[in-house]
Amino acid sequence: MATQIFVNLPVSDLERSIKFYAALGWAHNPEFTDDNASAIVISEEIYLMVVSEEFFATMTKGAARGTETVVALSVESKEKVDELADTALASGGAVSSDPTEESFMYGRGFADPDGHRFELVHMFTA
């Protein structure tokens, strides 16, 4: 079995977050959803747990909120980078970094409605 990652993100509006991530094509798993949290399936190995801010505080013993991490995801093409970033912006997200193109990769960044940052990258192959 491959190692799975579960990224827990505090959110101010659980329903808004579920809708935002659904717009990106990421599935909501109702089996792991209640009034406090929802599982968002990015892939078989990557999950977001969007957690109400109140419940998140109980999980972290009140840790300060802020940009503590940037979630970077690789995708299959430059076009997919643009598609996901454009959808995020049209669905209530914001630009977190300008498009970057180097000899080996292309990337764009967005922030979700709660300010959590994501970097989408496509690595070019020779």
What domains, with CATH codes, occur in the chain? 5-60 (3.10.180.10), 70-123 (3.10.180.10)
Could you report the per-residue pLDDT of 57-90, keeping only the tens digit for each?
887 776 656 557 789 999 999 999 999 999 999 9
Instruction: Give the span between the Cα atoms of 107 and 121, in whole angstroms.
Output: 4
What does the alpha-carbon distance between residue 90 and residue 78 come to, in Å, rounded to a whole number? 18
pLDDT single digits (tens) 81-116:
999 999 999 999 999 999 999 889 999 999 999 999
β strands within the chain, DSSP E: 5-11, 27-29, 37-41, 46-52, 70-74, 94-101, 105-111, 117-123
- pTM, entire model: 0.84
Amino acid of residue 8: N
